[in-house]
Amino acid sequence: MTAAASLAPPLPAPARYRAYGLRIASDIPLPELAATEPAGPAELAIRRCARLDLPPEAQQAAAWHRFAPEGAAFRWAGVGAFAVSASGARIDAAPAPGVGHGLVAFPLLGPVLAEALRRQGLLVLHASAVEIGGAGVALLADKGTGKSTAAAALLGRGARLLADDLTALRPGAWEIPPGFAQLKLSPGALAAQRPPGARTRRSVHAAIGKRRVLLPGLLAPRPVPVRRLYVLTRGDAAAPAIAPLPPEAALPALLRFVYASRFGRAAVDGAAAATLFRQATALAGRGLLRRLALPEGLDRLAALHAAITRDLAGDAP
């Protein structure tokens, strides 16, 4: 060892966070997540690296992904590459040159984290979720339907946030663990449904239209039992309308919004597909799915909290 090497400063310890019920240690700053003191070994380690060994086709595509029993890999041109271990306990991240942490966090805390959670045994949905009166309420919808905007409207009337865009459930207990205190909202939605105490973060890329909004103090403090799974649609009425989902439609609707479905059949195969199907079948069989038609117009979401509260009260004996 040379004298210069012996005097080299030690590498900083990874920051410690908690999200989705997991202790997380990360080399990449993630201010979206709740910082915490170490209290046992990390259950998910996020490690920054200079590069990942990916096949040539990955380098030529604007977006690329690969799923296999031994792990998953992703790459977005201009952002970086990511690898998820077989168990979901480790994520390696190789940001593209000159890319800041804020832009890296978009896929890292989205599809990459979703894959890690799935491999750790959670059922991951493309949904936002809130707590209303102790009940976990998930809002399932295609991109652009308004699930984040609907969540913001609910937060403005006393709900607490569980997750935005990426909702995870623990099979068996069927609880929704809190993710992190951030919503992504369009400028119009933010102006119309700004949650109390919201802090808007600066934009990290001109092509990203939604604003990242931190919500200190609005994240639910603990896991919440799921009571409703609402499939959002757009309606013609002036107020939100909730209707039962026929039992035969519940499982297909749920499978449609499983997060891995965004990547097609290649995302889960073999034993992984069988596990996911069993989880989705068990959840669909609990009779919690409803169809929720949102009215057109941001000003018409004021009645959403009352409509959901009435629907939840229908379970009372």
Same-domain pairing of 188 and 267: yes
- pLDDT on residue 205: 81
DSSP the chain: --HHHHTSPPPPPPEEEEETTEEEEESS--TTSEE----SS-SEEEEE-S-----HHHHHSSEEEEEETTEEEEEETTTEEEEEETTSSEEEEEEPTT--HHHHHHHIIIIIHHHHHHHTT-EEEEEEEEEETTEEEEEE--TTSSHHHHHHHHHTTT-EEEESSEEEEBTTTTEE----SEEEE-HHHHHHSPPTT-EEPPPS-TT--SEEEE-TT-B-SS-EEEEEEEEEEEESSSS-EEEEPPHHHHHHHHHHTBGGGGG-GGGS-HHHHHHHHHHHHHHHTTS-EEEEEEESSGGGGGGHHHHHHHHHHTT--
Domain of 104, in residue numbers: 14-119
Same domain, 115 and 151: no
State mean pLDDT over 104-115.
96
Q: Around Cβ 215, how many Cβ atoms within 10 Å? A: 20
Tens digit of each residue's pLDDT (9 = 90 or more) over 202-229: 887 878 888 999 998 999 999 999 999 9
CA distance 277 to 56: 33
How high is the pLDDT of residue 253? 94
User: Same structural domain for residues 113 and 129?
Assistant: no
Residue 51 forms part of a structural domain: yes
How far is CA 231 from each of CA 183, 239, 242, 293, rounded to the nearest angstrom? Answer: 19, 16, 10, 8
Q: State how many domains the chain has.
A: 2
Res. 317: pLDDT tops 90: no
Please tell me the predicted confidence (pLDDT) of residue 2: 43
Q: How confident is the model at residue 5 (pLDDT cuts 50, 70, 90)?
A: very low
Mean pLDDT within 72-90 = 97
pLDDT category at 316 given cuts 50, 70, 90 is low
Query: Mean pLDDT throughout 3-19?
Result: 66
Structural domain ending residue among the three candidates 76, 91, 119: 119
Q: What is the mean pLDDT of residues 112-127?
A: 97
Q: Is residue 282 part of a domain?
A: yes
pLDDT band per the 50, 70, 90 thresholds, residue 1 = very low
pLDDT single digits (tens) 142-187: 887 789 999 999 999 999 999 999 999 999 999 999 999 999 998 9
The reply to whether 185 falls in a domain is yes
Same domain (yes/no): 129, 27? no
Res. 10 pLDDT band, cuts 50 70 90? low
For the chain, the average pLDDT equals 91
Out of 95, 119, 143, a domain closes at 119
Together in a domain, 218 and 281: yes
Q: Which one of 119, 137, 157 terminates a domain?
A: 119
Please give the C-alpha separations between residue 23 and each of 16, 107, 131, 192, in angstroms, as whole numbers: 7, 20, 22, 35
Average pLDDT rounded to a whole number, residues 73-96:
97
The answer to whether residues 200 and 303 belong to one domain is yes
pTM above 0.75, yes or no: yes
pLDDT above 90 for 113: yes
275 in the same domain as 158: yes
**5 falls within a domain:** no
Mark whether 199 and 110 lie in a shared domain: no
Residues 306 and 234 in one domain: yes
Same structural domain for residues 79 and 150? no
Asked whether residue 68 falls in the same domain as residue 192, the answer is no
